[in-house]
């Protein structure tokens, strides 16, 4: 069943090319909602401007409002009311943005409009006078939902304006996703190598209080001449109209008077996003010097945290909320240069501390990436318009970036520190076997020669870690020496994965270089003699998968007999451990559980024996009954396995379990054509896209990686090989369905577009 679009959201705000923070904010909302939800959540803009025909806008701007003309507000409301396809308005509110006393011209518009309204307060002023209080209370009363960007703003609206808490929603300022390991490269590119870079950015005005920083710098630069300070941004357009470059010129004069002009650089531009982020990434310390105690939130502050800068800030509410001692230094007041001097010197002279602060800030802001903020706004818009059943996710593009970054000439590394490969983690057979399968699958879809090059690397690792007797070790360090772990852990599962990858590779040999096929056959022949020695259920399952694929290309009776023997072993595990209330192969569920019923179904497909199909269906449906409950998807926690007779643990969910669920659902749907598996396939994949208990994405849209896990309150944003390869394979599986109709999730209101 095809899903119709939601009704249009009309966003009322300043908008590019107008140069102001709110215009940038609104543009980011529009772009991120489109990225996450596509055309299932259309947004149009009503651009606010000081004078008529002030700017040439992009196509999404359908209306303009000259905010000083009171008569235009009601006329605009009538035009909007005449459109049945507009489902709601979202008003971005800032004092000074609308005409009248405290922006009270807006009230005439809100009174006339007959659509649901969500108002986003970017500034909330405490201890209001009576006039201000009445204006804000009227906006609250005329709105269906109120959004604020900080908890402090929420508290003020409740305590000082009497807003009901049930009407309020906190959605933080969004941040852009960047890769943290680019700092030194960018410093070199900008000719700042060997410099300690301090920066401030944003539209320049006296409120920025930049002179306070300048007066703090001379003594620091005398001791550390490698310190430079970047003041990035144009003069605020409204200030420029009134005073020209008076404030900037005054700052330049101060630098000359203090003899620091060779260490302070003014970048007098309104930068494109990529340029801006580059300046922030190369910065070591971000200085936020605002002297406005009522500045509720700062986009510049949020962006700096997300780019891995250590922060030094005056105590605005946003900083008080976000800035703990592990992220930066919160100053006590607004007007003492010596406070800034002491804090800057402390971080300049302690590289390790400022690096740790930058990393901590970067990790904390994952929750506020624009993709995650788009999820919050998308769900809010769908709630207000009562149209959640039409909301669907976009399919993220398949990217090889992180897989290539994690791959050396010898194999794919095991772990990463955020997105940076961790060389000390070395290599595993497990990951290189997964990677070989992924690259063979990807080449079948894309014919990308890069996939063949990578596949050859992963195969050579597998070949190189095989013992003389045909069995495999699992662990090598970065210097390619076998580690002691090979003597300390059971290697059956790893050996099973190796056979799975070899069988899959040989099954797809028509697309592969001849020399790789010949060598893969040799490795297979040495390893396959040990298949009947396998005892653990997962090792049996992985081996069965390899045998199945090999049997498709070489249907030998010997291989079929191996499949029967191993399938019967797995069946025996089921008969020993199952009972009326526990239809499973073990008395607990651990990791990669789906591979067990999957292998049983493969056994049926190879032999035609219905007993394997019967148990495959029984056990898979039993597993799914614990993964899909009340329209939600939640896999086994790695905090504690699901033991027979006990309650299932929650949180600690890993991509491997989600991906293996997707792989197995795909197989069962292909074999049975049961639409429930198809619907559950959509719901499982949406876990990566934000349909989880935190409503956060579990992948990195910049490099195509997957994060390592979903915890109770945060996402583990390290991007190891296992997680990334599992997500990549899940994407390849879902790619099979992207030309089919959209499907509604089973027992849930969200749909999914691919």
At 293, is the secondary structure helix, strand, or coil?
A: coil
Note the pLDDT of residue 747: 31
How does strand 310-313 pair with strand 328-330?
A: parallel
Q: Which two tokens stand for residue 79?
A: 């035009």
pLDDT tens-digit series, residues 535-594: 999 999 999 999 999 999 999 999 999 999 999 999 999 999 999 999 999 999 998 999
- Residue 60 CB-half CA count within 13 A: 22
Is 141 part of a structural domain of the chain?
yes
Whether 341 and 231 share a structural domain: yes
Is 414 part of a structural domain of the chain?
yes
Note the pLDDT of residue 749: 36
Supply the range of the domain harboring residue 85: 8-170
**Average confidence (pLDDT) over 194-213:** 91
pLDDT tens-digit series, residues 683-699: 999 999 999 999 999 99
pLDDT tens-digit series, residues 265-279: 999 888 888 898 999
Question: What is the DSSP annotation of 713-727?
Answer: S-EE----HHHHHHH
Is the peptide bond prior to 17 cis by the omega test (within 30 degrees of 0)?
A: yes
Is 289 part of a structural domain of the chain?
yes
- Residue 477 CB-half CA count within 13 A: 7
Note the pLDDT of residue 559: 97
Note the pLDDT of residue 296: 58
* Model confidence band, residue 6 (pLDDT cutoffs 50, 70, 90): confident
Ramachandran region of residue 66, left (φ > 0), alpha (ψ -120 to 50) or beta?
A: beta
Note the pLDDT of residue 739: 59
Is 554 part of a structural domain of the chain?
no
Q: 25: part of which helix (H) or strand (E)?
A: helix 21-37
* Model confidence band, residue 4 (pLDDT cutoffs 50, 70, 90): low
Is 537 part of a structural domain of the chain?
no
**Average confidence (pLDDT) over 653-673:** 97
Q: 353: part of which helix (H) or strand (E)?
A: helix 351-364
Top-confidence residue, 406 or 238: 406
Whether 166 and 184 share a structural domain: no
Last residue of a domain, one of 170, 203, 235: 170
Task: Residue 217: name the closest of 250, 255, 251, 187 by CA.
Answer: 255
Whether 164 and 184 share a structural domain: no
Lowest-pLDDT choice from 349-353, 503-507, 613-617, 647-651: 647-651
* Model confidence band, residue 752 (pLDDT cutoffs 50, 70, 90): very low
Note the pLDDT of residue 744: 35
Q: Is 223 exposed, middle or buried, given 0-12, 13-18 or 19+ CB atoms closer than 10 A?
A: exposed
Checking if the pLDDT of 415 tops 50, the result is yes
CATH code (residue 81): 3.40.50.2000
Whether 243 and 289 share a structural domain: yes
**Average confidence (pLDDT) over 92-119:** 95
Whether 164 and 266 share a structural domain: no
Whether 339 and 403 share a structural domain: no
Q: How far is CA 315 from the centre of its chain?
A: 29
Note the pLDDT of residue 172: 93
Whether 218 and 361 share a structural domain: yes
Whether 259 and 138 share a structural domain: no
Whether 22 and 130 share a structural domain: yes
Last residue of a domain, one of 325, 348, 367: 367
Is 466 part of a structural domain of the chain?
no
Checking if the pLDDT of 371 tops 80, the result is yes
Domain total of the chain: 3
Top-confidence residue, 121 or 237: 121
For residue 368, count other CB atoms closer than 10 A to its CB. 22
Q: Which two tokens stand for residue 119?
A: 């108002």
* pTM score of the predicted model: 0.91
Whether 265 and 344 share a structural domain: yes
**CA–CA dist 170, 158 (Å, integer):** 13
Whole-number average pLDDT of the chain: 92
Question: What is the DSSP annotation of 45-68?
Answer: EEEEESSTT-----TTEEEEEETT
**Average confidence (pLDDT) over 341-353:** 96
* Model confidence band, residue 740 (pLDDT cutoffs 50, 70, 90): low
Q: CA 483, 485, 490: angle at the middle one, nearest 5?
A: 135
Q: At what angle do helices 595-607 and 557-577 cross, to 10 degrees?
A: 140
Whether 702 and 741 share a structural domain: yes
Is 622 part of a structural domain of the chain?
no
Last residue of a domain, one of 324, 347, 367: 367
pLDDT tens-digit series, residues 433-492: 999 999 999 999 999 999 999 999 999 999 999 999 999 999 999 999 999 999 999 999
Checking if the pLDDT of 735 tops 80, the result is yes
Whether 139 and 193 share a structural domain: no
Checking if the pLDDT of 743 tops 70, the result is no
B/e letters for 442-478, b = 16+ CB within 10 Å, e = fewer, are: bbeeeeeeebbebbbbbbbbbbbbbeeeebbbbbbeb
**Average confidence (pLDDT) over 118-147:** 96
Percent of the chain topping pLDDT 90:
80
How does strand 416-417 pair with strand 420-421?
A: antiparallel
Percent of the chain topping pLDDT 70:
97
Note the pLDDT of residue 322: 80
Is 341 part of a structural domain of the chain?
yes
């Amino acid at each position: 069943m095809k899903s119709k679009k939601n009704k249009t959201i009309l966003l009322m705000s300043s908008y590019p090319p107008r140069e102001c923070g709110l215009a940038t904010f609104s543009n980011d909302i529009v772009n991120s909602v489109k990225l996450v939800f596509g055309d299932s959540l259309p947004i149009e803009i009503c651009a606010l401007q000081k004078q008529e025909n002030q700017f040439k806008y992009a196509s999404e701007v359908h209306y303009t409002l000259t905010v000083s003309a009171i008569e235009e507000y009601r006329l605009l409301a009538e035009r909007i009311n005449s459109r049945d396809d507009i489902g709601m308005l979202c008003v971005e509110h800032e004092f000074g943005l609308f005409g009248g006393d405290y922006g009270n011209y807006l009230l005439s518009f809100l009174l006339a409009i007959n659509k649901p309204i969500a108002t986003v307060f970017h500034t909330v002023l405490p201890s209001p006078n009576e006039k201000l209080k009445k204006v804000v209370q009227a906006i609250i009363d005329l709105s269906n939902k109120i959004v604020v960007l900080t908890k402090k703003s929420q508290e003020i609206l409740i305590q000082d304006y009497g807003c009901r808490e049930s009407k309020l929603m906190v959605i933080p300022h969004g941040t852009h996703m960047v890769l943290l390991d680019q700092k030194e490269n960018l410093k070199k590119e900008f000719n700042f190598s060997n410099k300690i870079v301090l920066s401030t950015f944003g539209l320049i005005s006296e409120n920025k209080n930049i002179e306070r920083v300048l007066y703090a710098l001379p003594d620091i630069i005398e001791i550390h001449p490698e310190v430079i300070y970047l003041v990035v941004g144009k003069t605020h357009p409204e200030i420029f109209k009134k005073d020209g470059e008076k404030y900037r010129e005054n700052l330049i004069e101060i630098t000359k008077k203090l003899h620091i002009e060779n260490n302070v650089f003014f970048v007098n531009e309104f930068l494109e996003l990529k340029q801006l982020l580059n300046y922030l990434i190369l910065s070591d310390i971000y200085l936020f010097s605002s002297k406005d105690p009522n500045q509720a939130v700062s986009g510049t502050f949020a962006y700096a945290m997300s780019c891995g800068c250590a922060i030094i800030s005056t105590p605005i509410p946003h900083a008080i909320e976000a800035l703990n001692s592990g992220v930066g230094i919160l100053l006590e007041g607004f007007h003492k240069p010596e406070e800034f001097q002491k804090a800057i010197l402390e971080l300049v002279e302690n590289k390790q501390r400022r690096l740790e602060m930058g990393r901590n800030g970067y990790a904390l802001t994952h929750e506020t990436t624009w993709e995650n903020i788009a999820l919050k706004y998308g769900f809010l818009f769908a709630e207000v318009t009562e149209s959640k059943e039409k909301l669907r996710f976009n399919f993220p593009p398949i990217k090889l970036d992180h897989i290539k970054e994690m791959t050396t000439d010898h194999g794919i590394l095991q772990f990463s520190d955020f997105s940076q490969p961790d060389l000390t983690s070395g290599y595993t057979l497990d990951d290189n076997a997964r990677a070989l399968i992924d690259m063979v699958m990807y080449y079948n879809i894309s014919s990308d020669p890069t996939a063949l090059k990578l596949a050859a690397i992963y195969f050579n690792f597998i070949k190189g870690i095989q013992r003389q007797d045909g069995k495999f070790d699992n662990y090598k360090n970065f210097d390619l020496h076998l580690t002691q772990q090979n003597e300390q852990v059971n290697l059956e599962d790893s050996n099973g994965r190796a056979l799975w990858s070899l069988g899959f590779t040989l099954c797809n040999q028509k697309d592969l270089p001849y020399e790789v096929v010949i060598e893969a056959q040799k490795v297979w022949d040495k390893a396959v003699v040990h298949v009947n020695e396998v005892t653990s259920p997962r090792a049996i399952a992985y081996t069965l998968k390899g045998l199945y694929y090999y049997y498709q290309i070489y249907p030998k009776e010997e291989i079929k007999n191996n499949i029967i023997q191993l399938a019967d072993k797995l069946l025996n595990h089921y008969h020993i451990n199952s009972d009326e209330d526990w239809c499973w192969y073990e008395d607990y569920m651990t990791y990669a559980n789906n591979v067990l019923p999957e292998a049983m179904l493969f056994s049926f497909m190879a032999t035609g024996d219905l007993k394997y199909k019967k148990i495959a269906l029984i056990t898979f449906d039993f597993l799914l009954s614990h993964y899909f409950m009340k329209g939600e998807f939640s896999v086994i926690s790695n905090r504690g396995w699901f033991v027979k007779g006990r309650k299932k643990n929650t949180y600690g969910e890993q991509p491997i379990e989600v991906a293996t669920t997707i792989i197995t659902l795909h197989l069962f749907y292909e074999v049975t054509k049961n639409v429930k598996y198809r619907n559950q396939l959509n719901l499982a994949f949406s876990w990566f896209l934000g349909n989880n208990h935190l409503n956060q994405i579990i992948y990195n849209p910049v490099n195509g990686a997957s994060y390592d896990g979903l915890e109770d309150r945060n996402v583990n944003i390290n991007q190891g090989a296992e997680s990334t390869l599992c997500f990549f394979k899940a994407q390849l599986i879902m790619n099979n369905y992207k030309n089919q109709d959209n499907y509604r999730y089973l027992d849930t209101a969200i749909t999914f577009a691919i």
